[in-house]
Amino acid sequence: MRPYPAFALSLLLAACATVRPPCAPQAQWVSPTTLRPIPDPIPGAATKPVVLLGEQHDSEADHRWQLAVIERLYAANPSLVLGFEMFPRADQPVLDDWVGGKLTEADFLQKSDWQHVWGFPPPLYLPIFRFARDHHIPMIALNVSRHLVHLAATEGWANVTRSDREGIGTPAPPSARYRAYLADAMAGHGGPKMTPEALSHFIDAQLVWDRAMAEAIATQHGRQIVAVMGAGHLEDRYGVPHQLDALGLPGAEVLLPAHGACEKLGAGYADAVFSE
């Protein structure tokens, strides 16, 4: 089964970074504005209701970093929950059974249809999933079905019937910069040339993806949620943070790995960046 177009875009946004020499001191937290080391942001993040951790999906280093951050946040707040872009909401019973110790790893991957729904090598993510299971940390499925994303990408959100929307509200309008960012991501990385209408629908699909995750995060109001997702949903606060703002949950902590892509960094890119 091949990914639908919006699924492909999400992977593109998170995985298109190329390996470059480090542009900031390695293995340190740095300011995205100055690229200079900053005080450890984790104590402050531990007080925030929402912490968003980005990733390049195929980066083992990113997932090690995410786990290290999650371990420290859990030590500060054992009542936190973990949210994951990788699972549609229909998989919530599977996540519950996994955390409850009712599934083997093989069963977990099979019942969540990991290979078709996400497809990246399970060993990249399993250490985080094992940590959640071993410490009985609830895992929350943040995503929607690929069918819904496909409908938005091919028909436009306005033409998706209410019965097909899976309870997702209309996304907050994107900024002009986010629209340009998504269009450039497609044009600059071998994406298909699109008509203005097709591009608009494609952006609709990304907004639905952002909105769905923001709404799922918002359901956890009252306890800290640490959410794991592609960096493209977080950079410059264009995606999920923007939708959270619109839902009345401003101030989510955005932490991102740097990947040496210094041309992308700047004021507002994230609250803090870890230079790997």
Q: What is the pLDDT of residues 234-258, one digit of tens each?
A: 999 999 999 999 999 999 999 999 8
**What local confidence, expressed as pLDDT, does residue 222 receive?**
86
Burial of 55 (0-12, 13-18, 19+ CB in 10 A): buried
**What local confidence, expressed as pLDDT, does residue 4 receive?**
42
**What local confidence, expressed as pLDDT, does residue 119 receive?**
94
**What local confidence, expressed as pLDDT, does residue 16 receive?**
46
What are the structural domains of the chain?
A: 5-15+22-275 (3.40.50.11550)
Cα separation, 137 vs 133, whole angstroms: 6
Residue 60, classed as helix, strand or coil, is helix
Residue 134, classed as helix, strand or coil, is helix
What residues have CB less than 8 Å from 138, skipping those under 6 apart? 81, 82, 96, 99, 132
Q: Which run of H or of E encompasses 139?
A: strand 139-143
Decide if 62 contacts 56 (C-beta within 8 A): yes
Q: What is the pLDDT along the chain (276 residues), one digit of tens a residue?
A: 334 444 555 555 554 443 444 566 778 999 999 888 999 999 999 999 999 999 999 999 999 999 999 999 999 999 999 999 999 999 999 999 999 999 999 999 999 999 999 999 999 999 999 999 999 999 999 999 999 999 999 999 999 999 999 999 999 999 999 999 888 877 765 555 678 898 899 899 999 999 999 999 999 988 999 999 999 999 999 999 999 999 999 999 999 998 655 667 888 899 999 987
Query: Nearest 5 degrees, angle CA 147-CA 102-CA 224?
Result: 65
CA-closest candidate to residue 120, choices 226, 3, 218, 202: 3
What are the phi and psi torsion angles at 186 (to 5°)? Answer: -70, -50
In one letter, which amino acid is 20?
R
In one letter, which amino acid is 60?
E
Residue 163, classed as helix, strand or coil, is helix
pTM over 0.85, yes/no: yes
Strand-pairing partners, residue 29, are: 274
Q: Which run of H or of E encompasses 52?
A: strand 50-53
